[in-house]
Amino acid sequence: MRYPREIIEEVRLQNDIVEVISQYVPLKQKGGSYFGLCPFHNEKTPSFSVNSEKQFYYCFGCGAAGNVFGFLMEMENCDFPEALKKLADRAHVSLPEPEKSAQAMVAEQLKARLFEIHTVAGRFYHDILQSDEGAAARSYMKERKLKPNITRKFGLGFAPERRNVLLEHLKEKGYSINDMLQSGLVIENKDKNGYHDRFRGRLMFPIFDPQGRVVGFGGRIMGKGEPKYLNSPETILFSKSRNLYGLNFAKAARKKELILVEGYMDMISLYQAGFHNVVAALGTAFNQEHARTLKKFAEDIILLYDSDEAGTNAALRAIPVLTSNGFRVRVTQVPDGKDPDDFIKENGALAFSKLLINAVHYISFEIACIRRNYNLDNPEHKVRFATEAADILSKLDNAIERNVYASEVSRMTGVEEGAIRSEIDKRVKKVDDAFQKEAEKRRQMNQKASSVGGHREKGLMEAQRSILYFSASEQKVYEKLVSVLDKEDFTEDLYYRVFQTIGQLWGEVGNVFPAELVSYFENTAEQKPVTEVFAIQLPAQSKEDLQKAMNEAVKLLKRTKIDKLTATATTVEELQGLVEAKRMLDSLYITI
């Protein structure tokens, strides 16, 4: 799909990158940049920077980089046209009808067929549930006190034991084996002599995307066998690391607070009891992608995991994921080790609503969890508990919250409140100091890595980045460089295309703005090295420094080209020409 360049730039200008990223990642201003925990890799010290002036982001830890389009493409797992549309909608910019490439049309048609296959499969499983083959599954649902209207609403079904019953049904509907395989509902036999259904002998839970379309299934075994729950595999429609069960129903509830539970039945039981703002992870640990998905729909989360050790540990792991993505988090647990489904059946919806009302701030939950590890009558334990609590409280951004909980820890331990606050303040200062130092250290390491002796390829990459940086800084510098460089001087085709685009921007726009330049490269794999040109390159200190750096970079590229041609030369004439080129290179010096 292709949109006019003017429309792309208008959408970018209407979406400040700091504002957009702040919807996903809490940012703190440090000088002219904003920093936060990188959403693309796990880290404790923030190294993810957002440059407000140049409108790009760069992570000094993992190297993730791009402009506002690239960020949304990574966060939402979408392509450039989808990111453009989302940002256009956000800024109320009208987009013209795009021209679709043949490849885009093929991909779009495949997705449409896979959505159809999942819809057909969901209806098939639901019909089987009502038949004699579904008797055991219906008995299980009756035992779990699921009402018929809930069974219909959630589209529950049953996959019979027969080996290829869904496969044959889909064949009758006209779908190809290739489409069935791409849906993940049919898999190839181990001996490669045929195909069979992925799900057999299981109660089936259709998994919907936020738009209410079936994108996958979860199946609970009805007899003996492992695994107890089986999910659809990763497909172009479904990822268990991004999808959440029941999100389509929670979205319809239009509440900014969501209840997060562990499993399918917990989610359905709560919904049946009248709590419609509930979602569940799909048999995998709650992760950054889950949090980013939820961020579109909620601001507050009540964590409701089982109260056993496994559930408590899962909640403790989920808390930092949620808080790092800007959620306000409270935690509640069902007493006596019961799961939410059992509790509601035994005590009713009113008693459950009281559990939600009494949910505690996640800090109180974390402190209560570590409290269990210590005997506060023991002085040594008292010190260790207070120290560990200070570590937890130092992670709070709000100073008032830190003081409130410091008072609570002081009351629990008898340790002077001022001493606890002092420990917290030391930790906060240490983190803030490390924050900027680490970012600067990584930036310098990235910049200098290519100049280490013996790393010729890295030196070539740095030379090309320098040329691009200088070319984008001043038009007269670009004009000098374009007069002496040609395509063959660049070892990376991408960098030559960037060089051409810089020239195009100077000619058409009259300036080169980093974020606009990055927009010319719609693939995130290309956006990253383009952004790096501006993220890790230091400007020259003076005109003389600029000339020196520029000449060194040009000569390195041209010398490398001559050396390569020399190694492959086959005639005396070629060699003589290369000797002359090298002589001319030695006398070359660009001035500005």
CB burial of residue 248 (10 Å; 0-12, 13-18, 19+): middle
Helix (H) or strand (E) segment spanning residue 455: none
Q: State whether 463 and 555 are in the same domain.
A: yes
What pLDDT sits at residue 138? Answer: 96
Q: State whether 189 and 230 are in the same domain.
A: yes
3-state secondary structure of 329: strand
Per-residue pLDDT at 322: 92
Whether this model's pTM surpasses 0.75? no
* Dihedrals phi, psi of 173, to nearest 5 degrees: -80, -5
In a shared domain, residues 228 and 164: yes
Instruction: Supply the range of the domain harboring residue 38.
Output: 5-91
pLDDT at 436: 63
Q: Which amino acid is at 424?
A: I
Residues 1 and 81: beta-carbon distance below 8 Å:
yes
Judged against a pLDDT cut of 70, whether residue 457 lies above it is answered with no
Question: What angle do helix axes 362-371 and 309-324 make, rounded to 10 degrees?
Answer: 140
Retrieve residue 339's tokens. Answer: 């799961």
How far is Cα 320 from Cα 95, in angstroms, rounded to an integer? 38
DSSP characters over 212-235: S-EEEEEEEESSS-S-SEEE----
Give the three-state DSSP class for 543: helix
Which residue from 403, 361, 369 is spatially nearest to 388, judged by alpha carbons? 369
User: Is 172 a domain residue?
Assistant: yes
Q: Residue 381: inside a domain, yes or no? A: yes
C-beta separation of 527 from 67 below 8 A: yes
Please write the tens of the pLDDT for every residue from 202-257. Answer: 999 999 998 899 999 999 999 888 999 999 999 999 998 889 999 999 998 888 89
Return the pLDDT at 455.
47
CA distance 20 to 18: 6
C-alpha distances (whole Å) from 139 to each of 132, 264, 324, 346, 414 are 11, 17, 43, 19, 56
CA distance 526 to 533: 12
At 20, which amino acid appears? V
What average pLDDT does the segment 265-276 reach? 95
Tens of pLDDT, residues 510-545: 889 899 999 999 888 899 999 988 887 666 668 888
Q: CA-CA distance, 463 to 553, in Å (whole number)?
A: 5
- Considering the domain architecture, whether residues 457 and 424 belong to the same structural domain is answered as no
Shared domain check, 543 and 517: yes
End-to-end CA distance of the chain, in Å? Answer: 41
| Mean pLDDT for the stretch of residues 31-59 | 87
Give me the DSSP letters along 246-293: THHHHHHHT-SEEEEESSHHHHHHHHHTT--SEEE--SS---HHHHHH
Q: Write the DSSP string, 387-420.
A: HHHHHHHTT-S-HHHHHHHHHHHHHHH---HHHH
Predicted pLDDT at 453: 39
**Residue that is written with structure tokens 């999942």 in the block:** 118
Is 489 part of any domain? yes
Residue 354 lies in a domain: no
Q: Which residues pair with 332 in a beta bridge?
A: 304
Same domain, 108 and 84: no
- Give me the sign of the Cα torsion angle 289, 292, 294, 296: negative
Which residues face 331 on adjacent strands? 303, 360
Note the pLDDT of residue 243: 92
Q: Which residue shows structure tokens 């013996």?
A: 454
Instruction: Report whether 505 contacts 511 (CB < 8 A).
Output: yes
Last residue of a domain, one of 238, 253, 269: 238
Which CATH number belongs to the domain containing residue 549 in this structure?
1.10.860
Residue 531: its pLDDT value, please?
92
pLDDT for position 539: 65
For the segment 119-133, what is each residue's pLDDT rounded down to a tens digit?
Answer: 999 999 999 999 999
Does residue 268 belong to any structural domain of this protein? no
Segment 149-166 shows an average pLDDT of 96
pLDDT tens, 283-296? 788 988 898 889 88
In a domain, 274, yes or no: no
pLDDT digits (tens, 9 = 90+) for 428-453: 888 777 766 665 665 566 555 444 43
pLDDT at 164 (0 to 100):
95
182: pLDDT strictly greater than 60: yes
Question: 84 and 208: one domain?
Answer: no
Provide the domain count of the chain: 4
pLDDT at 451: 44
Mean pLDDT of the region 389-397: 90
Do 123 and 223 lie in a common domain? yes
Q: Is the distance from CB of 90 to CB of 69 less than 8 angstroms?
A: no
Checking if the pLDDT of 331 tops 80, the result is: yes
* Cβ atoms of residues 291 and 318 within 8 Å: no
Q: What is the CATH number of the domain that holds 56?
A: 3.90.580.10
DSSP H/E element including 531:
helix 524-535
What does the pLDDT read at residue 446?
55
Residues 72 and 170 occupy one common structural domain: no
Structure tokens that stand for 378 in this block = 């023991």
pLDDT of residue 511: 87
**What's the CA gap between 253 and 172, in Å, rounded?**
38
The arithmetic mean of pLDDT across residues 138-158, rounded, is 95
What's 132's domain CATH number?
3.90.980.10
> Is 38 in the same domain as 137?
no
The predicted model gives 325-342 an average pLDDT of: 87
Listed residues 188, 204, 238: the one ending a domain: 238
Residue that terminates a domain, selected from 33, 67, 91: 91
Mean pLDDT of the 335-339 span: 78
Q: What is the pLDDT of residue 221?
A: 96
Tell me the C-alpha distance between 492 and 482, whole Å. Answer: 16
Residue 281 lies in a domain: no
Task: Give 219's strand partners.
Answer: 204, 230
Q: Let me know whether 213 and 118 are in one domain.
A: yes
Q: Is residue 539 part of a domain?
A: yes
pLDDT score of 454 more than 60? no
The average pLDDT across 380-384 equals 94
Q: Are residues 377 and 431 in the same domain?
A: yes
Q: What is the mean pLDDT of the chain?
A: 89
